[in-house]
Every structure is written in C-alpha cells, then in structure tokens.
Amino acid sequence: MKKDLILILDFGSQYSHMIARRIRDLKVDTFLCDYNISISHILSIKPKGIILSGGPFSVYDNESPLISKNIFQLNIPIFGICYGMQLISFIFGGKIERSKYKEYGKSKFIIDHSNNNLFDGIPKESIVWMSHSDEIRNIPKKFKITGHTSSCKIASFSHINKDIYAVQFHPEVKNTEFGISILKNFVFHICKCTPNWDWDNFVHNAIDKIKKRVEKKKVLLGFSGGIDSLVTAYIIHNAIGNSLNCIFVDTGFLLKEEEERISFLCKKMNFPIKIIDAKNRFLSRLNGVIDPEVKRKIIGEEFISVFQEESEKIKDIEFLAQGTIYSDIIESSSKENQLSHSIKSHHNVGGLPSTTFMKLKLIEPLKELFKDEVRKIGKKIGLPEEMLHRHPFPGPGLSIRIIGEVNEKKISILRKAESILLQELKNSNIYDSVSQAFIILLPVKSVGVMGDRRTYEHSAVLRVINTEDFMTATFSNLSYEFLEKISNRIVNEVDGINRMVYDITSKPPSTIEWE
C-alpha cells in the first residue's frame, strides 16, 4: 500500500536532509528532491504536503532558485522554512530586504496568533534557531503575521484561508525548542498524514529500486565491514543475489581486531566476500608522504586502482556500490551543497569521481541517511548488537592516525596501543557509552624515564568523543581513574610510546580524526 508522503523541495540548505530525517522520525515517508521538480512529477507522487527548505540565496539574486506559482494551486498544504518563507512572500508579492542585523543562533520567538494550526500546543514564548540575513518587510495580501522575535517582526506567517504556512527559523534543528511539535502539527494536523511508514518500507523500496535498475548486470561493492557497508550489502544481496561481488581491501592500516572481525564476517554472512591483500602497495605509495590531504588522495587513488583491477575480472559489471551515508557526502564534497566546504577527501570511496574514472554507475542506497538511522535498519534486519554499536573506523584506517610519515614500525606501535584501549573500554563498560575512541601517534618525541633509564619516544593522544551524528562532537568526560589506567598500560606495554595526552577539543572547531 502506498504510504502518505511529504515532499521536500531542496533549495540547498545545510539542514534540508535534517528536515527529511525529522519526518522519517515521525514514521511518515518523505522525498527530498531538487526544487525545480515539475508540477506533473509532483502530481504523480501525490504528496500529502510540501515543505520548501531553506537555502543560501536571496530571492532577488539573479540566479536564485524559484518555483512556479502553480504549486500553490494544487490544493496541497505548503510549509516554507527560512528561504522557503521568503520565496512564498516573494511569489505572492510581499517585500523582502537585507536585514540590518543578521540573525544566526538562538532567538526568543513569540506567537502572535495562537489559533494557528501550525503552533497548536506550543507555548506563546519559546526558543528558536535563526539563520538568515534577509527578512520580510511586508507580507503579501491575504497573509497574516503569526509570530515575531525581538529583531524580526515577521518571523512566521500563514495564508488567511489556505493551508500555506511559513517560518523564518529552523524547526528541524534541535535548538528550536518546539521544532518537532511544529513539524508534527504540519504533518499530522494540517496534512493529515498517517504515521505508518517504517524502516521495512525503506528496505523494501531500496531492494525494489536496485532490482529494477541492475537487472541482469553485476555489482561490485567495496566492503569495509562497518555497519554502513553491511546494511548496503544486505540490501543489494536481497535485490540481486550473487550478482553482488563484495570485495574487502586490506590496506594494512587495520586494527588487529578489524582483521579478526572481517574473517569472522566472511564466514558468517550469506554472501561471499573476497579479501584483497593490498598491504604492500598502499604502504609503498605513502612512503615519504606527510600532508594529510595528499595521504587521503593517494589512498583514494589506490582504492580505485584495486577496484578497477577487480572490476575488470567480472563479466557484465556495470555498477559500483558503496555504503556512503549522508555525513560522508556533506563533509567530503562541496557539490552537494553550495554552502558547505570540503573538509576532508575520501570519507568513502565516493570522495573520488569513480563514475567517470571507472565508468561504473554508483549505487548508494543509504546516502540520504544518518548513522543512527542506518543502525535502526541494521537492528531491523537482525544484525547483532555488537555490530550495531561498533565504533566507526575510517577507510584510510591507521594511516590518518599516524601524524606525519607512515611506516611499518609506527603501524605496529599504534596497533598495540589501540588494542589496549579497546580492551580497557570493554573491561570498564565504557565502550557503549562513548561514540568513538582511538589513539593518535604523534611525530613528536619527548624525554621520559623508565626504571632509571632515559627514554626518548613518541607521544600519543587519546581521543574519545560523544556525538549523535558525527557532524558535531564533544570530547568525552572520562574519569581520571580510567585515563590513568590507559596511560599506564600503554606507556608500560607499548614500546615506542612514553607519553600520553588527552584531547579535550570538540568538533567544531576540531574534527574527530586528526587528519
């Protein structure tokens, strides 16, 4: 049965995917698409409501994205957010101006019209998250102002007799106190959606789409052993069976435990995984390389060469599949969103233009999802708890946790230190209460004294963070007792490290990995 659906027109906001995610959290299907979708396409989708997202533009810019007024004749409820609000105002003849005070961050929002469906059950005053530099001066005819903040007189409005609503703030971000309630009001009170969508629907749809797209051709999947690639492999295997070819590239930059896990998975999963031993070629290409971006680029290229070679061995190969998720895309490429800068290359193999490079078409069934959503699917399809809550491990592995030049000796030092950390996190029952924990080996040496003997060895950093989506993170508040235990064990047991420090920075301004 077709599920009720909310269509989101994307005008390029960094929060557009967050809107989609919030709607999925309400158990309602959603489709995030380019703002210039045609009216006939909208009609074929039959959405119960349309959300116009925010975006980095000003409606008066020459190249600002606009939509046809006909969308408002479809009798489908419409909700404009930030740029979406300004667009509604512009289309209906309101006046927008660059505001004197740019407003970024928290503001107190005051509801002027309590008999507005959108604000049902929301207190007269609440905190909202603003992020805009334009503001509406005059609302169009037939609209009424429904709320304001101290510096923005028109912070929300609605049509007097049609289901058209708009807010200047972002209800989809957590900092807006009653943002979820506002979205709920739109989805359930105004659009009358039934909350009957769930992750089974997502999986079935994804399987269906892949089946139709791939037909009798073959798919190559870069398998990393993490939850994203496990769920991706599950979906594709269910769609096309053994036309899926999984390969795992052993770069030599793996943790000891990762190697063991992969051989366990190879035996356990019901699809074959081919392991490619590429240790020597990766290590030799990093010889003398210090710059983190150059390291990432080289590793990306090497991954691609391995995939290229493997793909040439498979007859009828036409697709490359990856377990890319939304945070991989937003941080490693700027093409997805004009506002976002590229932070690091190659968060996944998709960081490189593999479509043109390898002439293979990409399949990325999870690319719109957030990490915790992938975990929900993992749970649905019966992956064991241990796999669901395993900390992420980056594709380039230990090479980006060895600052400066990478060599075999340093890899062996870091592997030992990481192994001790993992044991202690598990022994102390801390593993599941933090999101990611690892060690960084520094090229900085310092003097120490062990058993009356002078030492001059590497310093290493303990990095432990908590996060919901890996886009922002805070360092974890660990006990001194635990920190002391880690420091003692690593310095005593790992030859080559004689000093440990704890990283107490959050993301932003730092990133989670050091390189």
So which residues are the catalytic ones? 82, 170, 172
Which stretch in 183-191, 241-249, 273-281, 505-513 sits in contact with ligand XMP by CB under 6 A? 505-513
Residue 33, SS3? Answer: strand
Find tokens 């392991």 and name the residue. Answer: 275
Smallest gap from residue 186 Cβ to ligand XMP (A)? 32
Cα first-last separation, the chain: 47
292 lies in the site for ligand XMP, by CB under 6 A: no
367 lies in the site for ligand XMP, by CB under 6 A: no
Site string (437-476) toward ligand XMP, x via CB under 6 A: ---------------------------------x------
Smallest gap from residue 395 Cβ to ligand XMP (A)? 4
Produce one character per residue of 216-242: b if its CB has 16 or more CB atoms within 10 Å, e if not.
eebbbbbbbbbbbbbbbbbbbbbbbee
Nearest to 468 by CA among 18, 164, 12, 9: 18
Q: Which H/E stretch holds residue 297?
A: helix 292-312
Choice between 282 and 470, CB closer to ligand XMP: 470
> Which two three-digit tokens encode residue 97?
């101006």
Rounded distance between C-alpha atoms, residue 207 and residue 377, angstroms: 13
Choice between 182 and 330, CB closer to ligand XMP: 330
Choice between 164 and 325, CB closer to ligand XMP: 325
17 lies in the site for ligand XMP, by CB under 6 A: no
Choice between 112 and 250, CB closer to ligand XMP: 250
Residue 491, SS3? Answer: helix
- Total residues at interface with ligand XMP (CB under 6 A): 16
Is-contact 80 52, C-beta < 8 A?
yes
Smallest gap from residue 487 Cβ to ligand XMP (A)? 22
Q: Which H/E stretch holds residue 80?
A: strand 78-81
Choice between 167 and 465, CB closer to ligand XMP: 465
Site string (384-403) toward ligand XMP, x via CB under 6 A: --------x-xxx-------
Residue 490, SS3? Answer: helix
Among 348, 354, 476, 498, binds ligand XMP (CB under 6 A): 348
512 lies in the site for ligand XMP, by CB under 6 A: yes
Choice between 126 and 436, CB closer to ligand XMP: 436
Among 436, 457, 475, 494, binds ligand XMP (CB under 6 A): 436
331 lies in the site for ligand XMP, by CB under 6 A: yes
297 lies in the site for ligand XMP, by CB under 6 A: no
14 lies in the site for ligand XMP, by CB under 6 A: no
Q: What is the number of residues in the chain? A: 515
Choice between 199 and 303, CB closer to ligand XMP: 303
Among 346, 367, 375, 410, binds ligand XMP (CB under 6 A): 346
Judge if the upstream peptide bond of residue 509 is cis by omega within 30 degrees of 0. Answer: yes
Among 184, 344, 463, 499, binds ligand XMP (CB under 6 A): 344
Residue 339, SS3? Answer: coil
Rounded distance between C-alpha atoms, residue 38 and residue 425, angstroms: 53
222 lies in the site for ligand XMP, by CB under 6 A: no
Choice between 243 and 345, CB closer to ligand XMP: 345
251 lies in the site for ligand XMP, by CB under 6 A: no
Q: CB under 8 Å to 49, separation ≥6 — which residues? A: 6, 7, 76, 77, 78, 79, 186, 187, 190, 191, 193
**Considering only residues 71-110, where is the footprint of ligand XMP by CB under 6 A?**
none
> According to the 3-state scheme, what is the secondary structure of 355-377?
HHHHCCEEECCCCCCCHHHHHHH
347 lies in the site for ligand XMP, by CB under 6 A: yes
Rounded distance between C-alpha atoms, residue 509 and residue 166, angstroms: 32
Note the residues at the interface with ligand XMP (CB under 6 A): 331, 343-344, 346-348, 392, 394-396, 436, 470, 507, 511-513
